[in-house]
């Protein structure tokens, strides 16, 4: 089933995200994950529903074009290539990601799902993606990598929402995309202010701020 294949790719991108030190690669993996999520509703046999097709198109446009363009501008301004000295090393991050994925599958197995759930892999994949985004947020030093973590965190929320995509009105789905755009926009402002104030986007410098 094509949706199973896409979900497997989404979960593989989680492991790729926590093991790469190159910020550009992290952005590419997050964008790939977002595009796969945008295409996922169409593989669930919902392409006949107009508002779901519109949702998929909006998700692919925002996650596959708009957000990458914002990231590219940020990379050009800060001129950094790698995440150096994360709070949690890359090998440890991989082990934690694998543990989080296993726990997500165990938890999803014990959750009561409504009858006729489209795909039983949606819940463990969404929980694992949420955990991966949170792991990136708390374990990385560079503000730009933390924005990637926020993006992955939202991807997990979006994937979980696909369980109810037929019942959720277009306005709610548009609200998710709007929250994502606003969050990325605000984080971009924060990154710019950190860079201007400290000539760096290492969030450790925030500890130097005093009244």
**Does pLDDT of 26 surpass 80?**
yes
State mean pLDDT over 120-132.
Answer: 90
User: What pLDDT does residue 211 have?
Assistant: 47
Domain segments of the chain: what residues? 2-208
Among 27-36, 40-49, 83-92, 123-132, the range scoring the smallest mean pLDDT is 40-49
> The tokens of 198 are what?
């400290």
Q: What are phi and psi of 9, to 5 degrees?
A: -65, -40
User: What pLDDT does residue 11 have?
Assistant: 93
Task: Report which listed range, 33-42, 107-116, 128-137, is most confident.
Answer: 128-137
**Does pLDDT of 109 surpass 50?**
yes
Does 134 or 142 have the greater pLDDT score? Answer: 134
User: What pLDDT does residue 147 have?
Assistant: 82
User: What pLDDT does residue 104 have?
Assistant: 92
Decide: 137 and 149 in contact? Cβ < 8 Å: yes
- Cβ burial of 98 (10 Å; 0-12, 13-18, 19+) is middle
State the residue for tokens 């796969």: 36
User: What pLDDT does residue 2 have?
Assistant: 83
pLDDT 10s digits, 157-199? 888 877 776 666 555 566 566 666 666 666 666 666 556 655 5
User: What pLDDT does residue 177 have?
Assistant: 65
How many CB atoms sit inside 10 A of residue 47's CB? 12
Among 16-20, 49-53, 105-109, the range scoring the smallest mean pLDDT is 49-53
| Helix/strand/coil percentages in the chain, nearest 5 | 80, 0, 20
pLDDT 10s digits, 62-76? 888 887 787 777 777
**In the predicted model, what is the mean pLDDT of the chain?**
78
User: What pLDDT does residue 99 have?
Assistant: 96
Rounded alpha-carbon distances, angstroms, from residue 85 to 31, 143, 171, 180, 207: 24, 13, 41, 28, 17
- The Cα–Cα gap between 3 and 52 comes to 15
Q: What are phi and psi of 202, to 5 degrees?
A: -75, 120
């Amino acid at each position: 089933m094509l949706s199973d294949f896409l979900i497997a790719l989404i979960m593989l991108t989680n492991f790729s995200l926590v093991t790469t030190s190159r910020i550009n690669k992290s952005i590419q993996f997050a964008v790939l994950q977002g595009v796969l999520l945008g295409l996922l509703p169409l593989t669930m046999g919902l392409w006949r529903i107009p508002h779901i097709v519109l949702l998929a198109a909006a998700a692919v446009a925002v996650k596959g074009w708009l957000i990458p363009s914002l990231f590219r501008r940020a990379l050009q301004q800060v001129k950094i290539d790698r995440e150096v000295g994360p709070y949690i090393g890359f090998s440890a991050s991989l082990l934690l990601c694998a543990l989080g994925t296993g726990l997500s599958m165990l938890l999803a197995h014990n959750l009561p799902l409504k009858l006729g759930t489209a795909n039983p892999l949606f819940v463990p994949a969404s929980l694992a993606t949420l955990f991966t985004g949170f792991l990136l947020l708390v374990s990385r030093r560079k503000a730009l990598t933390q924005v990637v973590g926020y993006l992955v965190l939202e991807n997990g929320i979006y994937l979980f929402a696909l369980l109810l995509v037929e019942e959720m009105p277009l306005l709610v789905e548009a609200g998710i995309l709007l929250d994502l755009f606003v969050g990325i926009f605000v984080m971009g402002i924060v990154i710019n202010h950190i860079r201007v104030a400290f000539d760096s986007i290492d969030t450790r410098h925030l500890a130097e701020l005093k009244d």
